[in-house]
Chain A
Amino acid sequence: MRTFSYVRAPDVETALRTIATEPNAKFLGGGTNLVDLMRENIERPDVVVDISRLPLTGIDELPGGGVRIGALVRNSSLAAHPLVRTRYPVVSQAVLGGASAQLRNMATVGGNLLQRTRCLYFYDEASACNKREPGSGCSALGGFTRNHGVLGVSDHCIAAHPSDLCVALAALDAEVEVESTRGTRRIPLTEFHHLPGSTPHVETALAPDELVTSVELPAPVTTRSRYRKVRDRASYAFALVSVAAALEVRDDTVTAARLALGGVAPKPWRATEAERVLLGAPATEESFRSAAEAELASATSQDGNDFKIELARRTIVATLRDLLTDRSAA
């Protein structure tokens, strides 16, 4: 880790002013990703602006049935909040499926959105990586790719976005509110993260001087939602594949479907193809399978992550099936 200076921001205004004037500064939320990356010399900020004491910790109901979540809400508080648990079970489940209890107690909502890939080569200073050093090459190609993407990847980078929370947020049409000295704007979660294309180092729509202040969830289309995470051990591992799903069925026909995938793409992957197939289709295993096939039709893979294509299909089907069975049980 390099020596850096540390500023604790007492209020949003100071935070924004500091980040705007310091050329190489970073916000510090829970520090669970930033500090790790600083230790590995991957992130090398000169100034760290600690925002963890900013008053962005509320979870509030919005008129119209939505919920607004402050950017500094800890992951554990988010998962435990009654509004979240009852209206958006998928969010609560996604958060609890991630990391460990200790990490969730530290990690913030804003930091979770901006956590960086777990590509082994990105983490290794000695390996070439286009994301770290544009133009240096991608060591993952031909290397270990078990935690890499199969959708939306490019020849320049095949890294996957590791977040669980974001997958649930993507399924639910969340919007991210960001602020800078220049003002405030809102970015749909599905547009917040970028695909790598030829610029894998550009990861999000956030400008370097912008602060995430909150995430807003619209009223849920259904409270029948679920997060299924498939990983290499029972807990404390990133998703190989995850599925966030919400399903509304009337007279055995799908009347609403929200679906997003994790672990398979450089961004939380809203499964719009699958949703299109599902809407109005009979709520059967067969429809679920066609939806999954449609979503993964464009997938490309390496030796090490080829299994994810079939695993994603199966996990989609299994998750939708579970939601359906829940309904009959209810």
Chain B
Amino acid sequence: MTQTLPETTTTRESVVGKPVDRVDGTAKTTGEARFTAEFSHPDLTHAALVHATVSRGRITAIDTSAASAVPGVVTVLTHHNAPALKSPRKVTPTDLSTMASGTSVNYLNTDEVHWDGQPIAVVVAESALAAREAAALVRVTYETAESTVDFTAEEPAAKPQKNNLVMQGSAKKGDAEAAFTAAPVKVDRRFTTPPLHHNAIEPHATLAVWDGDRLTVHDATQSIDWLRSHLALRFGIPTRSVRVIAPFVGGGFGGKGFIWAGTILTALAARATGRPVRLVLTRESVYRTVGGRTPSTQRVALGARTDGTLTSLIHTSVTRLGRVGGTPEAVTSQSKHLYAAENILVRQNLVELDLVSNAAMRAPGEAIGTFALEASIDELAYELGMDPIELRMHNEPERNPIDGKQFARRHLREAYRVGAERFGWADRTPEPRSMRDGRWLVGMGVASAFHPSMLFVANVVVRLSVDGTVLVHCGLQEMGMGSATVQAQVAADALGVPVESVRVEYGDSTLPMAPGAGGSMQTASVANSLLAACEKLERKLTKLGRSPQESPAAVLAREGLPSLEVSVGSDTRLGRMAGQLRFMSKFLMDQRRWMKAALGAHFCEVRVDPDTGEVRVSRWTASFDVGRVLNAKTATSQLKGGIVMGIGMALAEQTLIDPRNGRIMNPSLAEYHVPVHADIPPIDITYLDEPDPTMPLGLVGIGEVSITGVAGAIANAIHHATGKRIRDLPITLDKLL
């Protein structure tokens, strides 16, 4: 037997920041990586959903005879025969997992219909085809009730959003209305944005297996821990009786952050049939049962002196919730932080409709809020006859505009300087319609990107073995961002071992609890705990008399120890509650002290066909101030992805909800237009790599920042090309005719 000798020296180059290849790259390209729909189980059955086709009412009759007669059908579950489920709980700050429920509906335990698309029956069959065939044969009669589904019609009746600990519905500094009235130069504009859907390439999928009162689910989820607590709650079993497995998730963008009907009903169907059940939602079922981004109407009013100094910034919004749930989206968030306006007023209003709850979608709030704000700033620049970057720099704040807090870090000036140089902003002639390329009208636009940074509790266990390998255990989720890769880099640097010798195990609720992959906080939160764990390990090694030249493994070899293990955070019920409380108090203190955010500057060039109004984005440069970058490769992908999604939002994407009945009419990728390759130009990503001194390793989250500002930059470029201001997304060609 040969034995590799542990390395004896710890002087090695840092891997944090390097473009390290994804640890799961090979598994994904060879198809070895298994996604939820690819897991099977002996005796597996398959499910399909039946959706309500009215927006509000009561089921008076449900005929399942034809469905049951389809060969291979095991059962058709309806509110008549489905096992009882506990209702979702009201949201409480002491248990954040109560936020997990997508809606408040107790599926198949009620005859009430709350939105067009609500699942009202589940077919379980020996094959997915049989289940789907049968699902189409279920006949339902309703007693319909009056419903409100038309956002545009209901929007004027919106009510102010209340402030709470985590979410601000309104904020002000000074008297913005008076300052606006008095301002010599002003713009006052109204913007509208449509509902959107996430469209992760992997549809939501669940495989549920019961063993007595123990439940195992494979699920395409962004929130392993929340899902586990939520399932326990709904089925009335202890949390420890639920296991959630999600090694790979094919994109989520927020759509897999909450727990929707499909997951619950798969577990319910498995309970009812006593057999394992797998449900892979059709694309249509994803649209009908999973919420998406809220539509919005927004007003931005800006007042300035003739030198460009902002005296007033007003940003108000209306968004919607479902009557059965949903969360307000922080549409005006960036408007409190981006500009040093002397007076500021932001106010968010909400309207409840008989539609499925809205759900967080990449930068919920800021993605659409930056569109309105950044387009308005551009309009003001033209009113003032100023360069739009110059106007921004003129109003660049020293302290957080709304409350005077210190910025943890802010290098937006530098981001603009670097971006402008790479993009060639100096070559732009400011006059609209002044640049051409053959028949195409050419336009260039800029906009700022903004997303707040946060941390959450994460538990980790780190084990160092005598063979020099390091094993990190953390129940984090990998949706394609490269989570395991970057955490391996963090551990490698912290312990001074090669990155190849670190293995990260994740995607399973039997591992220490991690926060959901959302709010751009998973990476920094896990890194935070991982660093603490590595420090603990270092202390143990020091106690064992480690000399500076000695590698960690060499210490173990010398001491005759097979391995050394440390943990951060406790996964007991009490431990988790304590962790959450500690976190909440730290979070609030931190919030009081610092304003932390990821920032950036987008530069885009568009071409517009003067005959047809077709818009092509032809160049993109984005320059980010996002703290320390962990991995140049995965970070660039993440930042590019947000821009691609933003281009879709700006030019094409729109969920068509029929205002007459609340029914989604384009629940398919043929009719919901996400960008295709030909829509995306080469994207030049650059970042300043200035660490944030208040965050672990100087990291700030980068999952969402890059989608913010994109639509604003495009709208501004289109104005530059054509002289037209389009304030209504998506900017389709008919609006430019």
Contact = CB atoms under 8 A, between A and B. Distances in A.
A142 B660 CA distance: 9
A37 B480 CA distance: 33
Interface of A: 1-3, 41, 118, 120-121, 123-127, 142-144, 230, 232-237, 240-241, 307, 310-311, 314-315, 317-318
Contact of A144 (B132, B614, B658): B658
Nearest to A142: B660
Nearest to A237: B673
Contacts of A314: 611-612, 737
Nearest to B679: A234
B611 A233 contact: no
Interface stretch (B103-111, B663-671, B687-695): B663-671
B665 A120 contact: yes
> Chain A binding site: helix, strand, loop or mixed by DSSP?
loop
B612 A315 contact: yes
> Which 10 A/B pairs are nearest by Cβ-Cβ distance?
A234-B678, A307-B734, A318-B611, A126-B53, A235-B678, A120-B665, A234-B679, A314-B611, A230-B612, A236-B676
Contact of A232 (B132, B136, B652, B663): B652
A317 B610 CA distance: 12
Given A143-B660, A233-B673, A318 B679 contact: no
Contacts of A315: 611-612
A240 B733 contact: yes
A266 B733 CA distance: 22
Given A144-B665, A314-B612, A232 B53 contact: no
Contacts of A142: 660
Interface string B706-737: 00000000000000000000000000111001
Nearest to B52: A126
Given A142-B660, A143-B658, A310-B737, 17 more contacts: A2-B136, A3-B71, A3-B133, A120-B656, A126-B53, A127-B663, A143-B665, A144-B666, A230-B612, A233-B651, A236-B678, A237-B673, A240-B734, A311-B734, A311-B737, A314-B611, A315-B611
Interface in B185-213: none
A30 B732 CA distance: 32
29 contacts: A1-B133, A3-B70, A41-B136, A118-B670, A118-B671, A120-B665, A120-B666, A120-B671, A121-B665, A125-B136, A126-B53, A144-B658, A232-B732, A233-B675, A233-B679, A234-B676, A234-B678, A235-B677, A236-B676, A236-B678, A240-B733, A307-B737, A311-B612, A311-B613, A311-B734, A315-B611, A315-B612, A317-B611, A318-B612
Interface in B592-638: 611-614, 616
Contacts of B665: 120-121, 124, 127, 143-144
B129 interface: yes
Most buried by A among B611, B613, B679: B611
Contacts of A235: 676-679
B734 A230 contact: no
Most buried by B among A234, A241, A310: A234
Most buried by B among A123, A124, A233: A233
Interface in B18-71: 53, 70-71
A33 B668 CA distance: 14
Nearest to A147: B671
Contacts of B70: 3
Contacts of B613: 311
Nearest to A241: B612
Contacts of A318: 611-612
B612 A144 contact: no
Contacts of B136: 2, 41, 125
Interface string B294-319: 00000000000000000000000000
A288 to B, nearest CB: 11
Interface string B630-664: 00000000000000000000011000101010010
Contacts of A3: 70-71, 133
A251 B677 CA distance: 43
Given A2-B133, A124-B665, A126-B53, A232 B733 contact: yes
A123 B132 CA distance: 17
Contacts of B734: 240, 307, 311
B224 to A, nearest CB: 32
B513 to A, nearest CB: 40
Contacts of A120: 656, 665-666, 671
B644 to A, nearest CB: 12
A262 to B, nearest CB: 14
Nearest to A236: B676
Most buried by B among A236, A240, A314: A236
Contacts of A311: 612-613, 733-734, 737
A233 B732 CA distance: 9
Contacts of B616: 234
Contacts of A234: 616, 676, 678-679
A126 B671 CA distance: 17
Nearest to B663: A126
A236 to B, nearest CB: 5
A235 B676 CA distance: 7
A235 B652 CA distance: 12
Interface in B548-606: none
A235 B673 CA distance: 10
Contacts of A144: 656, 658, 665-666
A127 B656 CA distance: 14
Contacts of B611: 314-315, 317-318
A286 to B, nearest CB: 15
A316 to B, nearest CB: 10
A41 B138 CA distance: 13
Nearest to A307: B734
Interface in B135-151: 136
Contacts of A236: 676, 678
A1 B284 CA distance: 14
Contacts of A121: 665
